[in-house]
Amino acid sequence: MQFFDTYQEFLKSPIWQNTSEPEDAARQVLQEAADLEDLFDELYDNTLNGEEKDFDSHFHYLEGKYKYELERPPMKSYGTERPSLLRIYAIKMGTNTYLITGGGIKLADTIQDSPDLKDHVLKNIDRVREFLKANGIIDSDDMESN
The identity of residue 39, as a single letter, is L
Phi, psi angles (nearest 5°) of residue 30: -60, -40
- pTM equals 0.82
Pairing of strands 74-78, 97-105: unpaired
User: What's the pLDDT at 3?
Assistant: 45
User: What's the pLDDT at 78?
Assistant: 87
Q: Would you write out the chain's pLDDT as a tens digit for each of its 146 residues?
A: 454 455 566 666 666 666 667 777 788 889 999 999 999 999 999 999 999 899 999 999 988 888 888 889 999 998 887 778 888 999 999 999 999 999 888 776 666 666 677 778 889 999 999 999 999 998 888 776 55
* Total H helices, total E strands in the chain: 5, 4
Cβ contact 97:144 at 8 Å:
no
How many Å apart are CA 14 and CA 108, to the nearest integer?
A: 8
CA 31 to chain centroid, in Å, comes to 16
